[in-house]
Amino acid sequence: MRHLRTSVPVSARSPAPTAAGGGLLPAKELAVAWSLIVLIAVPAWILTVGQARDMGVGPGTMGMAIPLFLVLWVTMTAAMMLPSMAPVALTWVRGIGRRSSGWRRAGRTLEFVGGYLLVWTAFGLLAYAALALTGDLVDDHPAAGRWIGAVAFLLAGLYQLGPLKNVCLRHCRDPMSQLVRYAGFRQPARDLRVGVHHGTYCVGCCAGLMVVLVPLGMMNVAAMAGLAVVIFVEKLWSRGPLLARSVGVVLLVLAVLAPFQDWLLPGLQESSPSMDGM
């Protein structure tokens, strides 16, 4: 027994980060799965970039009604989050394929994806309220934009360094233990609950970073691309937690600079043309 204890490999005792999770799927299936992700993510980015070009960067919701905002928000979410949440999603969907077929398989897969997007849609409603509030404040008091930006960077930085971020990031970086946990979920709506559960942790992992879209602009393509890279690397790189803390420190520095550097606040400057007609 003593020999068995000492011969257990380190990886069995310490969950590997998602970056090492290629073993969750056979190499051939992994290649096919990532190809499908690219086929979904690329059109989502194309739609997001195209819409951003038409809208420009401005404060608040830029006159968008809630339905249009949520459509753009979900599209942006798919573009930014899909690669980083792929390991858990792909393996769970593969399990669905093993136990179901035909319409049942399609229905369960849609249930899982729907649960994930449901959480991000709910977060989108909070984002809409925050953007509407800050947009109104900037319209009424343009100078307030500097302090709104400073507060946004400060909150984002503190969140990156806080315990909730660490808990959620650990969840997202340990796909195997989450899949084992999800296997214990029971009906009804098992796949929907898995999607909601994983989506909640994903929102918790990325919420601080998404806050910086208030000062940088909700449709700022460069900001979205940068955040997508940070989110991807945080979850998949072996030193992802260190990156998360480093980004938190950088955001705190930006909070100090924001009141004096207008170039840090493109999303809190003069409004772009209204989109009320959309």
Q: Which residues of the chain have pLDDT under 70?
A: 1-37, 87, 91-105, 175, 178, 270-278
Please tell me the distance from the alpha carbon of residue 69 to that of residue 20, in angstroms, as a whole number: 36
Please tell me the distance from the alpha carbon of residue 209 to that of residue 80, in angstroms, as a whole number: 12
For the stretch 90-130, pLDDT in tens is: 766 666 656 666 666 677 778 888 888 899 999 999 999 99
For the stretch 223-247, pLDDT in tens is: 998 999 999 899 888 899 999 999 9
> What is the pLDDT, as a whole number, of residue 236?
85
> What is the pLDDT, as a whole number, of residue 264?
86
> What is the pLDDT, as a whole number, of residue 244?
95
Q: pTM for this one? A: 0.78
> What is the pLDDT, as a whole number, of residue 95?
65
> What is the pLDDT, as a whole number, of residue 26?
60
> What is the pLDDT, as a whole number, of residue 154?
97
Please tell me the distance from the alpha carbon of residue 245 to that of residue 169, in angstroms, as a whole number: 11
Q: 11 exposed, middle or buried (CB, 10 Å; 0-12, 13-18, 19+)?
A: exposed
Please tell me the distance from the alpha carbon of residue 30 to that of residue 33, in angstroms, as a whole number: 5
